[in-house]
Amino acid sequence: MTLDKFLVVAAALFCCGLYTVMTRRNAVAVLMGVELILNAANINFVAFSHFLSRVMGGQIFAVFVIVLAAAEAAVALAIFLRLFATTGTVEVDTADQLKG
């Protein structure tokens, strides 16, 4: 396996995440897209640290990012849950009280 294969996978994952965030209107789906982007960066970190650099830094970062993503998801789901309890939906478009 060579480095560029990992990079292609990571870039593809990044694009999938980007596409999801841009096109989906459901807040939970958008969150999933964000997780894809974070994981794409994780693949990059691990691949680079394995192939390029002699120190383990990149792999440690990946662990940090995994934990951060979980914390972010916890907070996000709590917010979405309250929104669902108030409006009965988590579609992004229905939240439109704030404008101007």
Partner 1 sequence: MTPIAMDTGALVRGLYCILPEMVVIGTAILVLLADLLLPEEGKKRLCHLSVAGVAAAILSALWLGPGKIEGFSGMIVHDGMGLFFTLTILAAALLTLMMATGYSEWEGTQKGEFYALILLSTSGMLFMAEGTDLMTVFLGLETLSIPIYCLVGFHRGRMRSLEGAMKYFLLGAFSSGFFLYGIALMYAAAGTTRIPVIASMMRDARLYGNPVFLAGIGLLLVGFAFKVSLVPFHMWTPDAYEGAPTLVTAFMGAAVKAAAFAALLRVVLLTFPAILPAMSGVLWVLAALTMTVGNFSALLQNNMKRMLAYSSIAHAGYILVGLTAGGVAGGQAVLFYVLVYAFMNLGAFGVIMLVAQREDDGYDIDNFAGIGFRYPVLGGLLSLFLVSLAGIPPTAGFVGKFYLFGAAVRSGYVGLAVLGVLNSAVSVYYYLRPVVSMYMAPAPEGIPVPRPPRSAFSFALCASAAAVLLLGVMPASALEFAERSVLSLLM
Partner 2 sequence: MSGLLASLQFSSPYFPVIVLMAVAVGLSAGFVFLSQWVGPKRYDRTKYSEYECGVDPLTTSTVRISVKFFLVAILFLLFDLETTFLYPWAVLYRSLGLFGFVEMGVFVGILLVGLVYAWKKGALEWQ
Q: Is 12 in the site for partner 2 (CB under 8 A)?
A: no
| Location of structure tokens 């579609």 | 91
Q: Are 26 and 90 in contact (CB under 8 A)?
A: yes
Residues 43-62 touching partner 2, rule: CB under 8 A, are 60
- Measure the CA–CA gap between 74 and 69, rounded to whole angstroms: 9
- Measure the CA–CA gap between 40 and 7, rounded to whole angstroms: 9
Contact of residue 70 among partner 2, partner 1, none (CB under 5-8 Å per partner type): partner 2
Closest approach, Cβ 74 to partner 2, in A, equals 5
Contact residues toward partner 2 (CB under 8 A) are: 60, 63, 66-67, 70-71, 73-74, 77-78, 81
